[in-house]
């Protein structure tokens, strides 16, 4: 008795699924979904290459230092980098003395406690400190940025699809709204408090163009600081901040592949030697 009931219940379940599938397909054909402004005008990241790309990729430390300079002089005014300590900057080619000077001269001091009174205080940074956030808390960050909370950039290159290419495209992709967009979607005009960027998910972003003009940063190595160059350099730096051990991972992967190749050859030769006298 139980089996027939179970069979009928299963048959009813399959019927309901098929009915839902057929009715959904008919509805889709009769009334296809209307295109949205995001679907029509959102762009995939630009084609861009970095020295760290690919299984043999290695960081260009001169580029990373330029990218850090862009972060320090432009991005650090709003965005934190709380997963990176000052001493980690030795990984991009700075000497211990340079790291100490960077930490001590950072614009935002490190939160601390007055040892005499126990009250909150601040002090100069040391190499062991994490890079301090520009705002004490989220409320202060929103109050200073039109209620938008600037995200931490430590892992941004891993948190977004296409990582460095996305960051580069976003920073270099600010533009005026296309006339075709306003023609197709008259109600989609970018609000006065936002900025049009086709590489951002919903096309309108609260962050003003951070790289507003060529020469905004004067590179220590003499590289010409065009907007495109600055965007590429800071994107490379954020790829490093998201995965500072990338070169070690690449080296370990190549070593493992080499070991497996040698082990496979030895196993094959052993097989031939052991079974060489056997007749098929």
Q: Which residues make up each annotated binding site?
A: 75, 78-79, 207
- For residue 191, the 8-state DSSP code is P
- For residue 205, the 8-state DSSP code is E
Instruction: Identify the three-state secondary structure at position 55.
Output: coil
Find all residues with CB under 8 Å of 152, minimum gap 6, and list them: 79, 80, 81, 82, 83, 133
Assess contact for 238 and 152: CB atoms under 8 A.
Answer: no
Orientation angle between helical segments 227-242 and 61-73, nearest 10 degrees: 100
Cα separation, 265 vs 2, in Å, equals 59
Cα separation, 274 vs 280, in Å, equals 14
Assess contact for 5 and 13: CB atoms under 8 A.
Answer: no
Q: In 3D, which of 46, 18, 59 has the Cα closest to residue 241?
A: 59
Cα separation, 135 vs 97, in Å, equals 27
- Distance between terminal CA atoms of the chain? 59
Which parts are annotated binding residues for heme c? 75, 78-79, 207
Assess contact for 126 and 112: CB atoms under 8 A.
Answer: no
């Amino acid at each position: 008795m139980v089996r027939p009931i179970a069979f009928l219940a299963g048959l009813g379940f399959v019927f309901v699924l098929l009915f839902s599938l057929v009715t959904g397909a008919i509805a889709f054909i009769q009334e296809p979904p209307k295109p949205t402004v995001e679907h029509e005008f959102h762009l995939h990241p630009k084609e861009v290459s970095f020295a760290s790309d690919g299984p043999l990729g290695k960081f260009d430390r001169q580029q990373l230092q330029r990218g850090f300079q862009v972060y320090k002089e432009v991005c650090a005014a709003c965005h934190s980098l709380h997963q990176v300590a000052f001493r980690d900057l030795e990984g991009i080619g700075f000497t211990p003395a340079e790291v100490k000077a960077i930490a001590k001269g950072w614009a935002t001091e490190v939160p601390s406690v007055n040892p005499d009174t126990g009250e909150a205080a601040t002090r100069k940074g040391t190499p062991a400190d994490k890079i301090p956030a520009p705002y004490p808390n989220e409320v202060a960050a929103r109050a200073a940025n039109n209620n938008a909370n600037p995200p931490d950039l430590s892992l941004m290159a891993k948190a977004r699809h296409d990582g460095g290419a996305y960051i580069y495209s976003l920073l270099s992709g600010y533009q005026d709204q296309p006339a075709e967009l306003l023609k197709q979607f008259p109600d989609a005009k970018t609000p006065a408090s936002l900025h049009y960027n086709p590489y951002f998910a919903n096309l309108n972003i609260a962050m003003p163009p951070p790289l507003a003009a060529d020469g905004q940063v004067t590179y220590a190595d003499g590289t010409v600081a065009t907007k495109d160059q600055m965007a590429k350099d800071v994107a490379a730096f954020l790829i490093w901040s998201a995965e500072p051990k990338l070169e070690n991972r690449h080296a370990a992967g190549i070593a493992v592949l080499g070991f497996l190749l040698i082990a496979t050859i030895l196993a094959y030769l052993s097989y031939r030697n052991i079974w060489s006298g056997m007749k098929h």
